[in-house]
Amino acid sequence: MPGLDLSELREAIAAGDAARFLAAVTGRDIDDTLQQVGAGIPMALEQRRQEAESVAMSVINRLTWRGGAGDRLLAEDVLAGLGRMPLTGRVVPVDLDMLSTVLEGDLDLSTGGYVDLRTRQVYDDSPTDPRMVGEDAADVEEPDRWLRLNRTGSRNGWRDMAAFAERQHDEALRGGLAGPRDGWPGHRSEAGRVNQNLRAARMELAGPFVD
């Protein structure tokens, strides 16, 4: 089964074009882009419910079977859309690169960061530390505005890359992804580069943040 064109998928979602979105995902391998596909399901259900329902059910089943980080929440959101029920949380689109940096950075340098729910900006700890920025430090004691992110380190990213590599049917691609993982953490710099490229290709680190 041919792979998904991520650029086409993202453009269809950004344009709010349900017909284009459904054409982009129909007959394609979506297993490694479930979070991105799931982000377009609400729009597709709103505009073309009859055609989108089978896609939504497929995404729910695949997310439930995979059971990765964020999969359960996204499956619940898609199911709510199928049942015409309101979401329990608030969707906050964020910069995935910055989110990745905050979540997977060096644990010795920071414990995490925050999402500003008003501006949708992601920050590490430094803007909240008066010792570093003085009186301009952000006040994160407003629970309705700031969402705390605890840093997990890069190990989860490595596990995610390993699982992704094992699912690939192309032997050369699978071997190329597996090679830098061997001997971790000795090959950290090379593997970090591959992992970064992998995340950029998949755009699968996280879906829209829900608080």
pLDDT tens sequence across 81-94: 999 887 777 777 78
Residue of 125, 59, 119 whose CA lies nearest to 93? 119
pTM of the model: 0.58
Tokens, residue 95: 């910069």
pLDDT in the model for residue 104:
81
What residues contact residue 130 under an 8 Å CB cut-off, 6+ apart?
Answer: 137
CB 111 within 8 A of CB 150: yes
Q: For 21-50, what is each residue's pLDDT tens digit?
A: 999 999 999 998 898 999 999 999 999 999
**Residue 186 is which amino acid?**
G
pLDDT in the model for residue 190:
38
Taking only the tens of pLDDT, the chain with its 211 residues reads 788 998 999 999 999 999 999 999 999 999 988 989 999 999 999 999 999 999 999 999 999 998 887 889 899 999 999 998 877 777 777 887 888 888 887 777 777 888 888 888 888 876 665 555 455 555 667 768 888 888 876 566 666 666 666 666 666 655 665 555 454 444 444 344 444 444 444 444 334 444 4
Residue of 3, 66, 81 whose CA lies nearest to 35? 66
Residues constituting the chain: 211
